[in-house]
């Protein structure tokens, strides 16, 4: 494993044991055993698939002359992901989209780039990877990434990627999970890959040190509810394949969390983070959304700091 790959894995593992980089999920302190990792493939129809391994979910769209891939998980997953894709098609991956900067979604960048894949991401993803970044909850700092791991093709608001017979529509929401988020829609398959602006495995993380904000999380999920159909197949950043109903439940949780925290701040009951932690404002939500007590505390911290920015 390269020094860069090791640092990404270390940062992400610490984040997983405190907050998950994308979603809260318990992980042994030593981190995942990649040698035992298994990639599961889910058929979404129209030659479109979700791959589940270690890290964020991956979406694969197969065209007539190549593949569009969304996210790359951790670097040690590279060979297993390539094998899973090869089991679906002999065609090469042409494009790899980064939905945001976190290492459980970008860790494989350099290795896939070495395979000839063009890395694509929002311009802020390239900037933050190039300069290094600190995780908002774990406090772990990831050093600047080498040039090979950076998105080669960037965009600001929206862009389109094409391989023969397939099109991916990339859109950037403002300051949601981070300031460099991308969601990807494959219209011909009615499949939406959200990255970590939506998740179906517990409380999310809105990374307030890297441009994230709960207001932006609410706004983009409101947009998903209004734009997409009831039968749209949704690949979340983490968790099982989802539906519009899942997005509505997630949106409602975000709104409830935002409103409660805003009320406490307005009433002067949350002068410090320690004060608001002691109030346990989301105790009733924890049964559904918190994987453990640490996940509950992380969400309080995220919402509090997001509204205090």
Tokens of 155: 């965009």
Tokens of 120: 């694509």
Low-confidence ranges of the chain (pLDDT < 70): 1-30
HSE toward the beta carbon, residue 84, CA cutoff 13 A: 22
The predicted structure's pLDDT at residue 29: 42
pTM of the model: 0.89
The predicted structure's pLDDT at residue 30: 56
> Domains of the chain (ranges plus CATH)?
3-248 (3.60.15.10)
The predicted structure's pLDDT at residue 12: 43
pLDDT in tens, 12-61: 443 333 333 343 333 334 578 999 999 999 999 999 999 999 999 999 99
User: Residue 203: helix, strand or coil by DSSP?
Assistant: coil
Q: Which candidate, 263, 178, 258, 265, places its Cα nearest to that of 218?
A: 258
């Amino acid at each position: 494993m390269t020094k860069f790959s090791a640092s990404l894995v270390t940062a992400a593992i610490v984040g997983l044991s405190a907050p998950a980089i994308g979603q809260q999920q318990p992980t042994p302190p030593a981190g995942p055993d990649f040698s035992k990792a298994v990639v599961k493939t889910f058929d979404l129809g129209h030659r479109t698939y979700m791959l589940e391994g270690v890290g964020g979910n991956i979406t694969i769209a197969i065209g007539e002359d190549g593949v569009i891939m969304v996210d790359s998980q951790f670097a040690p997953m590279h060979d297993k992901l390539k094998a899973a894709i090869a089991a679906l098609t002999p065609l090469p991956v042409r494009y790899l989209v980064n939905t945001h900067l976190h290492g459980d979604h970008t860790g494989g960048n350099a290795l896939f780039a070495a395979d000839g894949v063009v890395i694509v991401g929002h311009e802020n993803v390239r900037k933050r990877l190039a300069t290094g970044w600190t995780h908002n909850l774990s406090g772990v700092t990831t050093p600047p990434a080498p040039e090979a791991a950076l998105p080669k093709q960037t965009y600001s608001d929206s862009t389109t990627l094409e391989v023969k017979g397939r099109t991916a529509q990339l859109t950037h929401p403002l300051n949601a999970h981070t300031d460099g988020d991308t969601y990807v829609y494959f219209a011909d398959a009615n499949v939406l890959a959200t990255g970590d602006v939506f998740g179906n495995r517990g409380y999310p993380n809105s990374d307030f040190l890297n441009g994230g904000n709960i207001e932006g999380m609410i706004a983009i999920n409101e947009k998903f509810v209004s734009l997409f159909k009831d039968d749209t197949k949704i690949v979340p950043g983490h968790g099982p394949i989802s539906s519009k109903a899942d997005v509505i439940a997630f949106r409602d949780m975000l709104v409830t969390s935002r409103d409660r925290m805003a009320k406490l701040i307005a009433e002067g009951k949350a002068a410090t983070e320690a004060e608001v932690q002691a109030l346990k404002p989301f105790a009733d939500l924890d049964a559904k959304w918190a994987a453990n007590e640490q996940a509950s505390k992380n969400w309080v911290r995220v919402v509090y700091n997001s509204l205090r920015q």
